[in-house]
């Protein structure tokens, strides 16, 4: 069982015990992944009506949290993509053997935010696209970087943008993000939804994910909204 799985099991408890706190005390000295300021895509999608983007970039708590604070996003739901329905279950996905990646289904209004802008945020503040089958402290293929496209145009934009960023050498290593057509998206269990908003002070969230939202606010101020767009319309509890 990975460190990420152990951490999440601890965080699902009503309170964080001394062992969980001690575990996070030994974590790396920097929070989350460093944001990278990158250029927008040279080519963007021309879309109308509510569209869907599905992205995987490590733990879905942080990915969902960032896009729930992004203007133009109608909804952002944590879930699983890449495997089949029978294995779209957290306990199975956590083994890293199902083919699934922890993913977020983002429904957005192209009149307010383009697909290219969503990808720019994804590559800049959401995760480090040069890490293979891991993200920060989380390891395994379920934490891989992936873009599941819902149209040919999305695939063309994603492929072109990755090529553009690699050519510009904005990262010290090549991007390893895989681009492929979405086969299916399966929403995650209810306790995973709105997790960042509901548990902002839990150690994993505070250390790894809150900085991503702060980077969104700093780097993409025009795209940031203070009140998150929640799945359950839940009230915040610390």
Annotation says 12 is catalytic: no
Q: How far is CA 102 from the centre of its chain?
A: 8
Q: What share of the chain is helix, strand, coil (3-state, %, to 5)?
A: 40, 20, 45
- The catalytic position among 35, 56, 59, 162 is 59
Burial of 213 (0-12, 13-18, 19+ CB in 10 A): buried
* Cα 172 to Cα 149: distance, rounded to the nearest angstrom: 26
CB-count exposure of residue 95 (10 Å: 0-12, 13-18, 19+) = middle
Residue numbers annotated as active site: 59
């Amino acid at each position: 069982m990975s460190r990420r799985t152990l951490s999440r099991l601890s965080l699902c408890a009503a309170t964080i015990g001394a062992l969980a706190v001690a575990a996070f005390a030994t974590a790396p000295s920097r929070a989350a992944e460093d944001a990278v300021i990158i250029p927008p895509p040279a080519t963007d999608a021309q879309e109308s009506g509510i569209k869907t983007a599905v992205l995987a970039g490590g733990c879905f708590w942080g990915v969902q949290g960032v896009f729930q604070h992004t203007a133009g996003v109608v909804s952002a739901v944590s879930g699983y993509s890449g495997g089949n329905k029978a294995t779209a279950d957290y306990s199975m996905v956590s083994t890293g053997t199902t083919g699934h990646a922890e993913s977020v289904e983002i429904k957005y209004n192209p009149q307010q935010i383009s697909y290219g802008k969503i990808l720019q945020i994804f590559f800049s503040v959401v995760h480090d696209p040069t890490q293979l089958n891991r993200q920060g402290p989380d390891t395994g293929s379920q934490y891989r970087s992936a873009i599941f496209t819902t149209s040919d145009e999305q695939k063309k934009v994603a492929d072109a943008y990755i090529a553009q960023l690699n050519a510009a050498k904005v990262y010290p290593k090549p991007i390893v993000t895989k681009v492929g057509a979405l086969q299916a998206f399966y929403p995650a269990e209810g306790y995973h939804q709105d997790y960042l908003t509901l548990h902002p002070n839990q150690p994993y969230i505070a250390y790894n994910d809150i900085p991503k939202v702060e980077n969104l606010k700093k780097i993409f101020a025009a795209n940031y909204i203070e009140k998150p767009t929640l799945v359950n319309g839940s009230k915040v509890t610390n």
